[in-house]
Amino acid sequence: MFTRRFLLGAVAAALITPAAVAQEIPVFFVTDGTAMSGYDVVSYFNGDAPVHGLPKYAIVWKGAQWHFANAENRDAFERDPRAFAPQFGGYCAYAMAHGSLVSTDPKAWQVVDGRLYLTHSPEIEAMWREATAEYIRMAEAHWPVILYEQ
């Protein structure tokens, strides 16, 4: 029934399919192409609750669209995006500490030493806050491996 050519073709396809189908992990967690679910990342550093950005103040950085509440926040981000961008690409910092990529809730966050960390939910954020320094250390070890070796 199966010809030799068919079997060789099937084996070849099986060998190359994982590499061909493998998708790159986006550097930043995005929802519909927008980082931070549309929240203004600079607003996390202003001492108040984070606010949604507006498309009219959007820019594209690292393949994601970033929205800002006003021109001042947009301009601050453009001057130094790494100062405001969330750690671990905006993926859940707690999950990253355990070697996993998990989506985030932009309302579950913490700024530590001038860096923004997001978590999956308020419940996960509470667990994250129990040992933040240790989880940061663990996540920093996992991030390059997850980002570049999957």
Please report where in the chains the tokens 């667990």 appear, as a residue.
127
Q: Is the pLDDT of residue 83 over 80?
A: yes
Higher-pLDDT residue of 32 and 25 is 32
* pLDDT for residue 24: 62
The DSSP-derived string for 52-80 is B-EEEEEEEETTEEEEESSHHHHHHHHH-
116 is written with which tokens? 């923004």
Percent of the chain with pLDDT strictly greater than 70: 83
pTM of model > 0.75: yes
User: Do residues 77 and 59 make contact, with C-beta atoms less than 8 angstroms apart?
Assistant: yes
Any idea where the domains of the chain sit in the sequence? 26-84, 86-150
* pLDDT for residue 48: 83
